[in-house]
A and B are shown apart, each in its own frame.
Chain A
């Protein structure tokens, strides 16, 4: 059976690519500290020697639209083109092409459906920065095949937080039951407190530092029970109007498991939002 080489949860900040690649005279003041943290985070994936990446993210009204909106969707295609014109325009993100791992996509779809998750699928999916940002930060060679999984954290009505956790647990079991000798890293990105298009956007830090502090603690300690007790679809509006992206972190806590303490925890208090990075090694920390 496949090995889970690493479980990784991260924010996905579309400004990182430009901040880290700009010429020195255009680099923002926070770029160097950010790059240092990302390089340390990248090493946690490199050390795990993955062969395949399961990538959990959320389409930002790119391919998925309100006339046909899936709650959870698994890509099953040999390739995925990536990044969209408005991401190129606003964030300077490059066009990318990633290979797909169709066998694992098929296994997750079949097994997920059989386990009670009515997963949508896509055989032609152009992915966006929720998946390419972690490729850029964690595996900039973009050389490993992926299975993209999209969640709806964006267009209400949304699934309940407990369903994100349950799907994370199911993904973990499905990858572990994949008849393959390959090493799989499961990577998901979401948000801590975040406001977009509202009065609290682009402040000196995230809109709710107290929520961020608690959220980092929940994730780092695998405290699923506490996060489920304190978080609801209604409550997530309070820390910031885009904070439902935290449910993708909850999904990743489901992947890592109840009580699983992260082996790597880091954060960076940027203007606008807090960045946070977590890595678990279910098989033990690689030598």
Chain B
């Protein structure tokens, strides 16, 4: 499991308005590009001093590549990161206030306590 890297994807995409749009339009392509270009970048370090070992698990790659926020919850991605990024991508399609947010919760109702562990 590499929950840390899953979270890092959500975090780094959310911080960049262009990447939010790119991920909305082309999730699989964005994940492939991100994993090769940014997954190993230590955020506060020069590019030449990146990490060398980080890679998504197949299930994580698949969940990110299909915008599958239910699977992300199951895999232990930090729910705040998932929610924030998915609101950024899809709230704009709302026809009434909080429509997307409520539907997002509805799709998770089969989860009961304890929820998947989000510790990293």
Contacts and interface: CB of A to CB of B under 8 A. Distances in A.
Interface stretch (B22-30, B31-39, B58-66, B72-80): B72-80
Contact of B105 (A65, A90, A156, A202): A202
Contacts of A201: 83, 101, 104-105
A86 B42 contact: no
Contact of B113 (A60, A202, A238): A238
Contacts of A200: 105
Contact of B111 (A61, A65, A199): A199
A24 interface: no
Counting chain B residues whose Cβ lies within 8 A of the other chain, the interface size class is 35 or more
A68 B17 CA distance: 24
A67 B88 contact: no
Interface residues of A, number: 28
B43 A65 contact: yes
Contact of B17 (A60, A66, A85, A155): A85
Nearest to A200: B105
Instruction: Give the dominant DSSP class at B's interface.
Output: helix
Contacts of A60: 80
Contacts of A203: 105
Interface in B94-119: 97-98, 101-102, 104-106, 108-111, 113-115, 118-119
A57 to B, nearest CB: 15
Contact of B83 (A89, A154, A155, A196): A196
Given A65-B43, A199-B108, A241 B79 contact: yes
A242 interface: yes
A198 B73 CA distance: 8
Nearest to B98: A202
A242 B118 CA distance: 12
B42 A202 contact: no
Given A198-B73, A198-B105, A155 B78 contact: yes
B119 A67 contact: no
B52 interface: no
Interface of B: 4, 7-8, 11, 14-15, 17, 42-44, 73, 78-84, 87-88, 91, 97-98, 101-102, 104-106, 108-111, 113-115, 118-120
- What 6 A-B pairs come out closest when comparing CB atoms? A197-B79, A197-B83, A199-B108, A156-B119, A201-B105, A199-B109
23 contacts: A61-B78, A61-B80, A65-B11, A66-B7, A66-B120, A67-B44, A68-B44, A85-B17, A86-B14, A86-B15, A90-B84, A90-B88, A90-B91, A155-B78, A196-B80, A196-B83, A197-B82, A197-B104, A199-B110, A201-B105, A202-B98, A241-B115, A242-B80
Interface of A: 28, 60-61, 65-68, 85-86, 89-90, 154-157, 195-203, 237-238, 241-242
